[in-house]
């Protein structure tokens, strides 16, 4: 195939792709919705429950033992499946704020986001933060109001909150018949003359049965609930709350869907909307300006590195979002950071923990490059014409602890494990000449990251560790002169360390008062704010 023909084919295949993330506050039902979408797309035959209780399976996207035990997602996962002639790449993300960096990296690799809202709780702290990231990255957002089969708030009240808090016009595409906790069915706003009624399956393991009622039947059988829903839809239409595709893609509106993921209610309508409404991949912004066209030679962004997903093989996989051109397994590409060639011999299509060999991938697809030890999070790969995509964010850590091997005879495994977790971005690893590499300082956004480190070091690397908390809460970027000043200060309690990942100098302080004291003592010293995950 000629270069021109290859570019046209890449653009044609990209039009069939939908690459999106599911984002939410913890416990809003994100992993359950992920399973439900895969179930309705016939990618799996039985959905699991998030907590895996009473003999139920855990969700396909939660493969880590800690995730299965706690019933939460602590790392992002990739699920690829087909629906209505389209290929969907679903990136499930951690909801907990302690894992913000992983979620932010995933959002650099998607074209759309599904924002999940708990019908009872409405907009929560982490939802707000993640939406701000979507707005900053110009990612259009589809909203799914979940758990409508449980008691909750009024539908109109939730729409008002979305508009007030996000300055985003909600435009319902589906609407509930019956209040939260008394769901009678759903109305597809595009076909308001009918109602969809659902019959749940035990445990939500299979699709809910969906029956269609005419408006006359709905009025007869549902009475006041149908009349209320019809009246609310009239009010919304009169107020102009009608889906507009251009406004949605521009980030001015959000299509809204109602349902219950654990009961598989309303999930099919959301899945269809991802095909009909979510944008296909487009040109990607380059570092320094300009864009990389879909038709350009191959380029891709490494947005995640994960080791030991398969306990039987103990390998390492780098997740690559194809941004332009055609990815071909076995081709030799260039790693932009080093300018050196990289062979793509082992490439997999990923579905949670499961994977299969992939020979070709197109813009929007996510490819797992196995045993890609040279690759790091944020790397750009390309062929022919050079390309570099913007760097991934690194957040200001707020928790610090010295890590030491619990068994000194396992020191080699300890160093290897810490290095691997640093490269994956599980934590930031800081070092100093005083402590050496036998006692690195682990820096995290939140304490649960330390739990992940401890569990993985013991389970995957056979190197249990001891963590000794340090009394620091703030980090600032500095330089060699600032680090030297902090280490010789007699008035300030602080410490300067080097971040292994990028060799950046970080100054650590116990509180803002100590920062101010240092600035007064050394007014010429450099202290720069770092990007904060909790702002």
- Is residue 290's pLDDT more than 90? yes
- Is residue 4's pLDDT more than 60? no
State the pLDDT at residue 373.
Answer: 84
- Is residue 2's pLDDT more than 70? no
- Is residue 64's pLDDT more than 70? no
Annotated binding site: 92-96
State the pLDDT at residue 74.
Answer: 45
Backbone angles phi, psi at 232, to 5 degrees: -65, -40
Instruction: Name the pairing type of β-strands 253-258 and 169-172.
Output: parallel
Q: How confident is the model at residue 201 (pLDDT cuts 50, 70, 90)?
A: confident
Q: What percent of the chain has pLDDT over 90?
A: 66
Residue 328: C-alpha distances to residues 214, 299, 357 (Å)? 50, 11, 12
What length is written for the chain? 535
- Is residue 165's pLDDT more than 80? yes
State the pLDDT at residue 52.
Answer: 42
- Stretch(es) of the chain classified as CATH 3.40.50.300: 22-77+91-276
The larger pLDDT score, comparing residue 100 to residue 163, is at: 163
Tokens of 261: 């993921």
Contact 319, 47 (CB under 8 A): no
Q: How confident is the model at residue 309 (pLDDT cuts 50, 70, 90)?
A: low
- Is residue 478's pLDDT more than 90? yes
SS3 at position 422: helix
Listed range (48-52, 114-118, 202-206) with the worst mean pLDDT: 48-52
- Is residue 354's pLDDT more than 80? no
Annotated binding site for GTP: 92-96
State the pLDDT at residue 100.
Answer: 66
- Is residue 439's pLDDT more than 50? yes
Contact 328, 315 (CB under 8 A): no
State the pLDDT at residue 50.
Answer: 34
Where are the strands (E) in 371-478, listed by range?
380-382, 399-405, 428-431, 441-444, 465-469, 474-478
Contact 441, 402 (CB under 8 A): yes
State the pLDDT at residue 104.
Answer: 81
Contact 186, 217 (CB under 8 A): no
How far apart CA 535 and CA 531 sit, in angstroms, is 9
Report the DSSP beta bridge partners of residue 81: 88
The larger pLDDT score, comparing residue 83 to residue 393, is at: 83
- Is residue 58's pLDDT more than 50? no
Run of H or E including 521: helix 512-521
State the pLDDT at residue 391.
Answer: 86
Is 209 exposed, middle or buried, given 0-12, 13-18 or 19+ CB atoms closer than 10 A?
exposed
- Stretch(es) of the chain classified as CATH 3.30.70.3280: 399-521
- Rounded to an integer, what is the distance from CA 159 to the centroid of its chain? 24
Tokens of 346: 């082992």
State the pLDDT at residue 407.
Answer: 95
CATH number, domain 284-382, options 3.40.630.40, 1.10.357.10, 2.40.30.10, 3.30.565.10: 2.40.30.10
State the pLDDT at residue 76.
Answer: 54
Residue 74: C-alpha distances to residues 66, 99, 119, 451 (Å)? 8, 7, 23, 10
How far apart CA 252 and CA 416 sit, in angstroms, is 47
- Residue 407 has a CB neighbour count (10 Å cut-off) of 13
CB contact burial 217-248 (16+ within 10 A = b; e otherwise): ebbeebeebbebbbebbeebeeeebbbeeebb
pLDDT in tens, 146-160: 999 999 999 999 999
How far apart CA 490 and CA 286 sit, in angstroms, is 46
The larger pLDDT score, comparing residue 437 to residue 512, is at: 512
Under DSSP, the state recorded for 30 is: H
Run of H or E including 341: strand 340-343
- Is residue 267's pLDDT more than 70? yes
Contact 404, 465 (CB under 8 A): yes
How far apart CA 48 and CA 58 sit, in angstroms, is 5
Q: How confident is the model at residue 73 (pLDDT cuts 50, 70, 90)?
A: very low
pLDDT in tens, 221-245: 999 999 999 999 999 999 999 999 9
Rg (CA), the chain: 25
User: Distance between the two ends of the chain, CA-based, in angstroms?
Assistant: 49
- Is residue 71's pLDDT more than 60? no
State the pLDDT at residue 527.
Answer: 94
Listed range (69-73, 404-408, 441-445) with the worst mean pLDDT: 69-73
Q: What is the mean pLDDT of residues 438-442?
A: 93
Domain 399-521 class? alpha beta
State the pLDDT at residue 57.
Answer: 47
State the pLDDT at residue 111.
Answer: 97
Most distant pair of Cα atoms in the chain: their distance: 82
The larger pLDDT score, comparing residue 14 to residue 7, is at: 14
Q: What is the mean pLDDT of residues 411-421?
A: 93
- Residue 432 has a CB neighbour count (10 Å cut-off) of 15
- Rounded to an integer, what is the distance from CA 193 to the centroid of its chain? 37
Tokens of 284: 């990607």
- Stretch(es) of the chain classified as CATH 2.40.30.10: 284-382
Q: What is the mean pLDDT of residues 385-398?
A: 88
Closest CA to 184 of 219, 133, 135: 219
- Fold classification of 22-77+91-276 is Rossmann fold (3.40.50)
Instruction: Name the pairing type of β-strands 253-258 and 141-146.
Output: parallel
State the pLDDT at residue 524.
Answer: 94
């Amino acid at each position: 195939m000629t270069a021109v023909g290859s570019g046209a084919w890449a653009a044609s295949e990209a039009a069939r792709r939908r690459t999106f993330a599911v984002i939410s506050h913890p416990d809003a039902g994100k992993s359950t919705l992920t399973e439900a979408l895969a179930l309705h797309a016939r990618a799996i035959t039985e959905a699991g429950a998030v907590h895996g209780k009473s003999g139920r399976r855990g969700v396909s996207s939660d493969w880590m033992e800690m995730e299965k035990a706690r019933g939460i997602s602590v790392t992002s996962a990739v699920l690829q499946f087909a629906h209505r002639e389209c290929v969907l790449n679903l990136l499930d993300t951690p909801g907990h704020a302690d894992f913000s960096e992983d979620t932010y990296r995933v959002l650099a690799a998607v074209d759309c986001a599904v924002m999940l809202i708990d019908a009872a709780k409405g907009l929560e702290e982490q939802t707000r933060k993640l939406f701000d990231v979507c707005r900053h990255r110009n990612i259009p957002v589809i909203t799914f109001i979940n758990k409508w089969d449980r008691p909750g708030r009024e539908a109109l009240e939730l729409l008002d909150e979305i508009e007030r808090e996000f300055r985003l016009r909600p435009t319902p595409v589906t609407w509930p018949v019956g209040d939260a906790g008394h769901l009678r069915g759903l109305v597809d706003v595009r076909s308001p003359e009918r109602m969809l009624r659902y019959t749940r399956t035990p445990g939500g393991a299979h699709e809910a049965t969906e029956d269609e009622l005419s408006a006359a039947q709905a009025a007869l059988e549902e009475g006041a609930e149908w009349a209320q829903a019809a009246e609310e839809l009239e009010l919304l239409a009169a107020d102009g709350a009608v889906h507009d595709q251009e406004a949605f893609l521009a980030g001015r509106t959000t299509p809204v869907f109602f349902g219950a993921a654990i009961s598989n209610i309303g999930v099919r309508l959301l899945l269809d909307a991802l095909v009909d409404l979510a944008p296909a991949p487009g040109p990607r912004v380059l570092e320094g300006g300009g864009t990389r066209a879909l038709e350009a030679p191959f380029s891709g962004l490494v947005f995640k590195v994960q080791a030991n997903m398969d306990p039987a093989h103990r390998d390492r996989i780098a997740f690559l979002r194809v941004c332009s051109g055609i990815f071909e397994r076995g081709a030799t590409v260039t790693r932009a950071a080093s300018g050196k060639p990289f062979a793509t011999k082992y490439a997999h299509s990923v579905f949670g923990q499961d994977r299969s060999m992939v020979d070709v991938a197109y813009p929007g697809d996510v490819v797992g490059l196995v045993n890609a030890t040279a690759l790091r999070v944020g790397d750009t790969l390309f062929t022919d014409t050079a390309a570099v995509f913007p760097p991934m964010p690194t957040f200001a850590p707020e928790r610090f602890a010295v890590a030491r091997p619990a068994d000194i005879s396992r020191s080699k495994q300890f160093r290897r494990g810490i290095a691997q977790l640093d490269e994956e971005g599980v934590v930031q690893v800081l070092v100093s000449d005083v402590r050496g590499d036998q006692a690195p300082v682990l820096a995290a956004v939140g304490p649960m990251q330390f739990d992940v480190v401890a569990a993985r070091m013991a389970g995957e690397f056979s190197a249990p560790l001891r963590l000794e908390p340090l009394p620091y809460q703030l980090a600032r970027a500095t330089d060699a002169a600032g680090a030297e000043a902090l280490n010789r200060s007699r008035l300030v309690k602080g410490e300067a360390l080097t971040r292994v990942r990028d060799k950046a100098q970080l100054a650590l302080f116990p509180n803002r008062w100590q920062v101010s004291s240092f600035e007064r003592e050394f007014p010429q010293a450099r202290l720069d704010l770092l990007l904060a995950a909790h702002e």
